[in-house]
Amino acid sequence: MAVRKIVLAGAPVLKAKAQPVTKMTKSIKTLLKDMKDTLYDANGVGLAAPQVGESLRIFVIDDGNGYVEYINPEIITLSDEKEEMTEGCLSVPGFVGVVERSTGVTVRYEDRNGRTHEVSATGLLAQAIQHENDHIDGTLYIERAKNLYKENEGTIE
């Protein structure tokens, strides 16, 4: 088990647009395994490569329905219907915020074997895909949050 250190808000790698994966190398496969270990160790729903210091277009999600690796994801469609959702982030520990997200999303991505997949999602998975996709585009949820709360306390913004 290789758990990587999670990069916190303010780190330059979290503000940069991540680079696409052009070749599946041994180091990318190691990164994917480490991201899975880190996600589960942190008890998270999703984790993007920039959150472990790697500026690559990769994120991993387990919304309770199974673990999925998203390599070079591209959001194809977002539903017009929006909803305010409470979010937290492993890179912003101790805080949650209210973010408006589309209730549905379709994403195209590659797996570690280079196969292309397209999936449409709603609920927590749709929220997680949008949240993690923001990470690889250099945006943190706190930049979108209407209200930011210290966990178990009142509004701070």
Fill in the amino acid letter for 73: P
| Reported confidence tier of residue 154, pLDDT bands at 50, 70, 90 | low
Q: Is residue 7 a part of any domain in this protein?
A: no
Condensed to tens digits (0 to 9), the pLDDT of residues 63-84 reads 999 999 999 999 999 999 999 9
pLDDT of residue 37: 98
Q: Is residue 4 a part of any domain in this protein?
A: no
CATH number at residue 39: 3.90.45.10
Q: Is 132 a residue of the active site?
A: yes
Q: Is residue 155 a part of any domain in this protein?
A: no
Whole-number Å distance between alpha carbons of 53 and 55: 7
Condensed to tens digits (0 to 9), the pLDDT of residues 89-109 reads 999 999 999 999 999 999 999
Please answer whether residues 22 and 112 qualify as being in contact, where contact means their C-beta atoms are separated by less than 8 angstroms. Answer: no
Q: What is the pTM of this model?
A: 0.94
Q: Is residue 156 a part of any domain in this protein?
A: no
Structural domain for 49, as ranges = 12-150
Q: Which residues are annotated as a binding site?
A: 89, 131, 135
Q: Is residue 143 a part of any domain in this protein?
A: yes
Domain count, the chain: 1
Q: Is residue 75 a part of any domain in this protein?
A: yes
Q: Is residue 82 a part of any domain in this protein?
A: yes
Among the listed residues 54, 87, 110, 132, the single catalytic one is 132
Q: Is residue 110 a part of any domain in this protein?
A: yes
Question: Taking every pair of C-alpha atoms in the chain, what is the biggest distance, in angstroms?
Answer: 46
